[in-house]
Chains A and B, each alone.
Chain A
Amino acid sequence: MSAATTAHKDPKLPPPLDLPEGPEWVAALKLFDAHTAETLVAAARTLYPHDGLPERVYRRTVAHFDAMASKAPGAAQAFAEFVDLVDGALPLIFRELSEGYRVQVLKGLEASTAFRLVQRSCVRFLYDDVEVWQAFGYEGASVHLGGYVNRGFNDLDWLPDPPPGV
């Protein structure tokens, strides 16, 4: 993790979703009920387990799923199906399972379209979250700050500098 960098979203883009902290975050969703939302958060954490990341980044990811679902009935159906599948796989519902069992359940569903939608959408939104950028050292938008020409585009110092004009 890189402390020296600051992540920026392009100022033209809408600001990150501002969800309430705590369990009442689900009230901000358009379509998902609490169980659906919390199950998807558990799935997102199991798929992309970054122990250093706070719960809210996974919640924001699921809030994006919710926005997708409220625009596309097909997606809404697939998310609902995903929750049914993961809850039905073992004698305990998915979000009460230990991580090892959750991994086992997800492995068993890899071929399904519902799994694919959840997995791909997780990648799409989780790693597009500016708090995740900050945590992993991706600085993002730069033109509004003058690019990187004076902000470290060639500051790597643990290898010899190539000769001029190479």
Chain B
Amino acid sequence: MTAYELDDDGVIVIIGSGAGGGTLANELAQRGVKVVLLEAGRHLTAEDFVNDEWGGYEMLSWLDKRTSSGTWRVAKDHPLTPSWSCQVVGGTTTHWSACCYRFIADELRARTVYGDIPGTTLIDWPITLDELNPYYDLAEAKMGVTRTNGLPGLPPNNNFKVMYAGARALGLNVSTGRHAINTIPYDGRPATIQDGFTITGDKTGSRWSTLNVEIPKGLATGKLELRSQARAVLIEHDAAGKASAVVYVDGAGLTHRQKARAVVLAGNCVESSRLLLHSKSARFPDGLANGHGHVGRHYLRHLIQTVWSTFDKPVHMHRGEIMGGMIDDFVRHDPSRGFAGGYYIEMNSMGLPTTAAFMDPGWWGRDFASVIEQYSKMAGIFMSGEDMPQADNRITLTDELDAFGVPVANIHYDDHPNDLKLRSHGYKVLTSIHKAAGAKRSVEAPAYPASHNLGSNRMSARPEDGVLDGHGQAWEVPNLFIADGSNFATGGACNPTLTIVALAIRQADFMAGQMAAGEL
């Protein structure tokens, strides 16, 4: 096992081993770069995982306290857990359901295409789809995304049959979609056995995660050292204003200082902004990389919601891969719909425990009981749409300190009128699809805790509009990078992970090039 010295200032230190950090760690190691990967969570294996919704949630989730405010429904339903991610080696890729879609060109030019929408802070991305596409190709190949590289799509399951019937009746373009889930053996991993438990760790390994793909490959190079149960609490800088070390606390509660040639934050949005805001100094009084005040701002979480419907006959939606369905008719920006941006329709299923918990938190009584009793005859359909960036939708630090002495984060989010219009449009379409398949009753479930956390350390073409340049490099601190979804300039509509991975591969190319050129 590779082990670097704490005072080795030749290593790249990456904080967080999820989609962004785990991928970047492997990509850098493959390029011969020395990497220390700090991960707050434990290093679990497939053996540890359980096929149990709450058991998995409690095993994998980031459960440290956060607070929330604003008009979003999440602040009422889930005030202390407003954002949903994992604390474990592999991050939320141990939990995700593996939908993999690409941004479309217009989404990367959101400000230009959508125009000047009052109350928003839309910008164009500093990179184009043409620049990103080669990295999407690499990401799809490494993740084994279905319907790319000759890999077959997921077979239709019961829930999909309902979605398909409704969508076809309405003339919509429906397929089982694209997923980083093996339908045939690929890259040494087996085909899915349709167990329906990707969200509690995935015991078979048929789904890509950084835990089962990137990190083992990176470790095999001898260039990567993984330190699990290593919680970063502060990023330090030197007299020249460059990041110089990361202070972290290990599983035994001991504090260490790892020197660094460069530091990459990949803690999943909220944690990355929190660490930057907390890493204050005389030189950076508002936190690292925050000279223009954008750290924590423009926080995005996608317009995510589900419609659950009951039918006369059994569906058994829990059987099989949970999100194997996709409709792309509403992805493109179409001003005639009365709002900016678009959304993907996808399939969703949950077990009885979480269907009951998320259908409408706070709903009780005979009406609720009569719906949830129909669980076996229930189907689920879901959407992920673009939300509008707003300056005051932001992550800030509160006065309360966590067990590591770092201030607890607050997430503030007010819904923008555009968000509400898109949501309303989406609910109507989701319901009409189920109705067309024969639904007796449809329930509009609200958003659950934010699972697509984006934008709070955004990239921008001009330093005054964001935190990072187009390579995820901080404008203000040249050897500080961000590799998680907080680097998104705007959210687009699709699930973010494929893009996070593509950006991380691109970042690895850039960093290795800079190192070779003596600039990093």
Contacts from A to B (Cβ < 8 Å): 1-2, 5, 9-10, 12-13, 47-50, 52, 103, 106, 110, 119-120, 122-124, 126-128, 132-133, 136-144, 146-149, 151-156, 158-162, 165-166
Interface of A is mostly: loop
**Stretch among B28-36, B190-198, B486-494 lining the A interface:** B190-198
**Stretch among B155-163, B218-226, B397-405, B442-450 lining the A interface:** B155-163
Given contacts A124-B357, A148-B320, contact A166 B175 (CB under 8 A): yes
Other than A2-B376, A136-B372, give 12 A-B pairs with Cβ distance below 8 A: A2-B316, A5-B376, A10-B50, A124-B353, A137-B314, A138-B351, A138-B376, A141-B197, A146-B193, A153-B196, A156-B162, A166-B176
Given contacts A153-B320, A162-B156, contact A9 B52 (CB under 8 A): yes
* Interface members, chain B 137-164 (any A CB < 8 Å): 152-153, 155-158, 160-162, 164
What are 15 residue pairs bridging A and B, where the CB atoms are less than 8 Å apart in the complex?
A: A2-B376, A10-B52, A49-B366, A49-B369, A127-B356, A137-B314, A137-B376, A138-B375, A146-B193, A147-B194, A153-B196, A154-B155, A155-B316, A159-B164, A166-B164
Say yes or no: B55 contacts A10, CB within 8 Å.
yes
Say yes or no: B352 contacts A160, CB within 8 Å.
no
Say yes or no: A143 contacts B197, CB within 8 Å.
yes
Say yes or no: B165 contacts A147, CB within 8 Å.
no
Say yes or no: A148 contacts B372, CB within 8 Å.
no
Query: Quick check: is B318 within 8 A (CB to CB) of the other chain?
Result: yes
Determine the residue in chain B with the shortest Cβ distance to A138.
Answer: B352
Given contacts A50-B373, A136-B372, A166-B174, contact A142 B364 (CB under 8 A): no
- Set of chain B residues within 8 Å of A122, measured between Cβ atoms: 364
Kindly provide the distance from the CB of B250 to the nearest chain A CB, expressed in whole angstroms.
26
Interface of B is mostly: loop
Say yes or no: B157 contacts A154, CB within 8 Å.
yes
Say yes or no: A154 contacts B52, CB within 8 Å.
no
- Set of chain A residues within 8 Å of B374, measured between Cβ atoms: 136
The 6 residue pairs across chains A and B that have the minimum distance between CB atoms: A137-B376, A147-B193, A141-B51, A153-B320, A138-B352, A147-B195
In whole angstroms, how far apart are the Cα atoms of A159 and B356 in the complex? 26
Task: Give the interface residue-count category, chain B.
Answer: 35 or more
- Set of chain B residues within 8 Å of A52, measured between Cβ atoms: 373
- Set of chain A residues within 8 Å of B195, measured between Cβ atoms: 142-143, 147-148
Kindly provide the distance from the CB of B29 to the nearest chain A CB, expressed in whole angstroms.
31
Query: Quick check: is B280 within 8 A (CB to CB) of the other chain?
Result: no
Kindly provide the distance from the CB of B367 to the nearest chain A CB, expressed in whole angstroms.
10
- Set of chain B residues within 8 Å of A146, measured between Cβ atoms: 193
**Contact for B51 among A50, A140, A154, CB less than 8 A:** A140
Say yes or no: B161 contacts A161, CB within 8 Å.
yes
Given contacts A103-B365, A148-B196, A154-B157, contact A133 B352 (CB under 8 A): yes
Kindly provide the distance from the CB of B324 to the nearest chain A CB, expressed in whole angstroms.
10
Say yes or no: B319 contacts A139, CB within 8 Å.
yes
Determine the residue in chain B with the shortest Cβ distance to A4.
Answer: B314
In whole angstroms, how far apart are the Cα atoms of A139 and B318 in the complex? 8
Kindly provide the distance from the CB of A109 to the nearest chain B CB, expressed in whole angstroms.
12
- Set of chain B residues within 8 Å of A47, measured between Cβ atoms: 364-365
Query: Quick check: is B315 within 8 A (CB to CB) of the other chain?
Result: yes
Given contacts A47-B365, A136-B352, A165-B153, contact A156 B52 (CB under 8 A): no
**Contact for B375 among A10, A120, A137, CB less than 8 A:** A137
Q: Which of B315, B355, B369 has the most CB of A within 10 A?
A: B369
In whole angstroms, how far apart are the Cα atoms of A21 and B10 in the complex? 66
* Interface members, chain B 171-214 (any A CB < 8 Å): 174-176, 192-197, 203-204
Say yes or no: A153 contacts B373, CB within 8 Å.
no
- Set of chain A residues within 8 Å of B196, measured between Cβ atoms: 142, 147-148, 153
Kindly provide the distance from the CB of A98 to the nearest chain B CB, expressed in whole angstroms.
14
